[in-house]
Amino acid sequence: QQQVKQSPQSLIVQKGGISIINCAYENTAFDYFPWYQQFPGKGPALLIAIRPDVSEKKEGRFTISFNKSAKQFSLHIMDSQPGDSATYFCAASKGQGAQKLVFGQGTRLTINP
Amino acid sequence: KAGVTQTPRYLIKTRGQQVTLSCSPISGHRSVSWYQQTPGQGLQFLFEYFSETQRNKGNFPGRFSGRQFSNSRSEMNVSTLELGDSALYLCASSSSVGGYTFGSGTRLTVV
């Protein structure tokens, strides 16, 4: 019940296209859903996060869509750029503060020029 | 504002040895969490410290331990190292209302 399932494992998108990564969770007590971006040799960096009281949150080219009834959330990267090539992790926790994050397995995104 | 600093960046140890990793959080952040990242298991929560007290603990054996000092700096110790302990160990700091900020990690290789 603590798992967060992420798909796909890897994704190749053409420059300018839309990248979509999906996550599903089981624990209905989760109320904070962040996405992290990780480049090789670096730690994960917070990209965008959402709470279950909203269905969508947009920050620049990055959008989180959240479906509470389906217990699913997804990351959309519009106008994908080669610089977006990285590994993306979804996560979930109870509370936004210093709470234990349960991470998805990650998606390696490659944007072809 | 300085980020989360982890030292050392790379470490090679022999099976059976012990190792201590260090983490300096962002100034003002009182919570420090540790995660293990491996290709097979992904990112797994080890433990979280707040004001020198362990608040949360993941499902790792007792060989993994940590502590936090009064200045919020944290150390993580692994005793009797096993080959399977080879991983990237990430430290993250957080304020009471903000999300995590991760450091760049310590790459531990056990041979």
Among chain B residues, CA nearest to A105: B42
Are residues B99 and A96, on separate chains, in Cβ contact within 8 Å?
yes
Which pLDDT tens digit goes with each residue over A72-95? 999 999 999 999 999 999 999 886
Q: How confident is the model at residue A1 (pLDDT cuts 50, 70, 90)?
A: low
Three-state secondary structure call for residue A83:
helix
The minimum CA-CA distance between A8 and chain B, rounded to whole Å, is 14
Alpha-carbon span A41 to B9, nearest angstrom: 10
- Nearest Cα residue in chain B from A93: B99
> Between the CA of residue B40 and those of A39, B3, B18, B33, B43, what are the distances in Å?
18, 28, 23, 21, 9
User: Please, are residues A27 and A2 in contact by the beta-carbon 8 Å criterion?
Assistant: yes
pLDDT digits (tens, 9 = 90+) for B50-80: 999 998 899 999 999 999 999 999 999 999 9
- Tell me whether residues B98 and A96 touch, CB distance under 8 A: yes
